[in-house]
A and B are shown apart, each in its own frame.
Chain A
Amino acid sequence: MALSDKAKTALVLASIVAIFFFGIMLKYWILR
């Protein structure tokens, strides 16, 4: 299934959100 340009843009942005959200918690949970 081909994704539309809009869906691709949204997926990239949602990935950035996920990286920042989980990243900040993982950083201080695991890497302390």
Chain B
Amino acid sequence: MSAVVHDDHGHGDHHGDHAHHPSGVMRWISTTNHKDIGTLYLWFSGTMFLLGGVLALGIRAELFTPGLQVWNPEFFNQLTTMHGVIMVFGAIMPAFVGFANWQVPMMIGAPDMAFARLNNWSFWLLPFAASLLVISFFVPGGATGAGWTLYAPLTVQMGPGMDLAIFALHIMGASSIMGSINIITTILNMRAPGMTMMKMPLFVWSWLITAYLLIAVMPVLAGAVTMTLTDRHFGTSFFNAAGGGDPVMYQHIFWFFGHPEVYIMILPAFGIVSQILPAFARKPLFGYSSMVYATASIAILSFIVWAHHMFTVGMPAAGLLFFMYATVLIAVPTGVKVFNWLATMWKGSMTFETPMLWAIGFLFVFTMGGFTGLILAIMPVDIQLQDTYYVVAHFHYVLVAGSLFAIFGGVYFWLPKWSGRMYDEKLGKWHFWLSLVFFNVTFFPMHFLGLAGMPRRIPDYALQFADYNLLASIGAFGFGFSQLIFFYVVLKCTVFAQGAKAPANPWEGADTLEWTHLPSPAPYHSFETPPAVR
């Protein structure tokens, strides 16, 4: 099972191309190398992050003061919708797939991903999907403004921008599914001899479980948007109330996808943090096996909590109670993970290089998002807070301070291995502290706005919300401009090849295969002969 499969029958083009691989643009278009494809994913994600960020600043510009001053309300809805869609499907998810492409083969001692050509295709679908989303702003009626959740009946009524969004989601979903099949197949079949499942690094475990989630729920999203498409153009009435359909049914189907999707965006972040903390605490991860079981438990529970997103639709009391208790139950495995991360650092010889700062920042701020999630899980409270800015604050604490902070930490952690150059430590720390401060300036006031009753997805608001909105907008622009430091640091290491040369293992406590067995930068082809893992 754990033997490395060497394909001698002409299918393994990832081995066949190393003498004559093309250069220039064709290298990137035709590449089947996991490191190249990982790089492509990460740059794509960075580009989408900038695009989604510009849309976010458009939102915050409008909300800077009460009244309508920059955009008309229809365009504001398009901004919120496309900000969500682009950040979820274009920025966060591809970033983690980029990490998986780079790291999974190196961490398990495999030469490449299992299906190298499929890997290329998985990536190259994404720019086309992103183009559809961008083009949708310029069709009659503009982009879809139904919210990233694409709820009926709005989706049945909107213009052609909605169709483009549906096709984009189909394509991105296909990309994710193919990527997941590739990752699972790689992990199950291509581990180096001796790399048993319970010896795999936590990042690999977290991606294995995430990939299973993707396999199960992306087809459900694809089915939901396909039904929306047939409602729009082929006379069906799945969700179209005018024809006897049920819009609430869409919500059930969407959130059956949507809640596991939340964990798809956070489990790989847990994996990254679980690599960083032991490396800088110079101690092995505390409670490895409990971390694996906790991750699996979170994934399984994610399938039975979806209706906590729709407590106000009018469910029977038994349904409300079931989904409330099931949701609260998720705090148990999540608590196990937070406890283990703290115990990993306990009495460790800690140093605070940039990746460690991001990991500790993640631990503090993500956990706050977890707590507000627990508050929202309490059904009677949620009925008050549904669709208010409290929800916006909560999920940005989870997705920005959770997913994005872990992504930043992971990039700083592995950049020496990827580029062969040490990043600028001083600028990295500036990036962290500015991001942490401005993140909280942006999103912490939103808790108060939500508690005071400010609804989300509105371009104008009552005067009593003005001060906190002003603060949030200032924070958002500060956060946005702070990210330019990150892109400068990354470009300096990669494109400009500046900075000190990185040793094979710049981190004293890092002990996974890419650090212990490979030079920096990692060679184009690694582990063609599998390493011995004891």
A residues apposed to B, CB below 8 Å = 4-6, 9-10, 13-14, 16-18, 20-25, 28-29
| Cα distance, A25 to B222, chains bound together (Å) | 10
| Cα distance, A10 to B11, chains bound together (Å) | 15
Please name all residues of chain A whose beta carbon is closer than 8 Å to the beta carbon of B151 when the two chains form the complex.
Answer: none
What are 12 pairs between A and B in contact, CB < 8 Å? Answer: A4-B5, A6-B114, A9-B189, A14-B181, A16-B216, A17-B219, A20-B217, A20-B220, A24-B220, A28-B238, A28-B249, A29-B238
With beta carbons under 8 angstroms apart, the residue of A13, A24, A29 that contacts B185 is: A13
**B115 interfacial contact with A, CB 8 Å:** yes
**B392 interfacial contact with A, CB 8 Å:** no
| Cα distance, A23 to B224, chains bound together (Å) | 11
| Cα distance, A24 to B222, chains bound together (Å) | 10
Could you tell me the distance in whole angstroms from the C-beta of A1 to the nearest C-beta in chain B?
11
18 additional A-B residue pairs with CB within 8 Å, beyond A6-B189, A28-B227: A9-B184, A10-B115, A13-B181, A16-B215, A17-B181, A17-B219, A20-B215, A20-B216, A20-B219, A21-B220, A21-B223, A22-B223, A23-B223, A24-B219, A24-B223, A24-B224, A24-B253, A25-B227
Inter-chain contact B215/A13, CB cutoff 8 Å:
yes
**B180 interfacial contact with A, CB 8 Å:** yes
Residue ID in chain A nearest B182 by CB atoms = A10
Mark interface residues in B206-245 (1 if CB within 8 Å of A CB, else 0): 0000000001111110111011000000001010000000
Could you tell me the distance in whole angstroms from the C-beta of A8 to the nearest C-beta in chain B?
9
Residue ID in chain A nearest B174 by CB atoms = A17
Q: Interface residues of B, CB < 8 Å — how many?
A: 27
Q: What are the 8 A-B residue pairs with the smallest beta carbon separation, nearest first? A: A21-B219, A24-B223, A20-B219, A9-B185, A13-B181, A6-B114, A25-B223, A17-B219
Please name all residues of chain A whose beta carbon is closer than 8 Å to the beta carbon of B223 when the two chains form the complex.
Answer: 20-25
Please name all residues of chain A whose beta carbon is closer than 8 Å to the beta carbon of B484 when the two chains form the complex.
Answer: none
- Known contacts A6-B5, A6-B185, A25-B226: A17-B253 contact under CB 8 Å: no
Please name all residues of chain B whose beta carbon is closer than 8 Å to the beta carbon of A21 when the two chains form the complex.
Answer: 219-220, 222-223
Could you tell me the distance in whole angstroms from the C-beta of B156 to the nearest C-beta in chain A?
15
Please name all residues of chain B whose beta carbon is closer than 8 Å to the beta carbon of A13 when the two chains form the complex.
Answer: 180-181, 184-185, 215
| Cα distance, A11 to B236, chains bound together (Å) | 32
Inter-chain contact A5/B5, CB cutoff 8 Å:
yes
| Cα distance, A18 to B174, chains bound together (Å) | 12
| Cα distance, A11 to B311, chains bound together (Å) | 38
Mark interface residues in B166-186 (1 if CB within 8 Å of A CB, else 0): 000000000001001100110
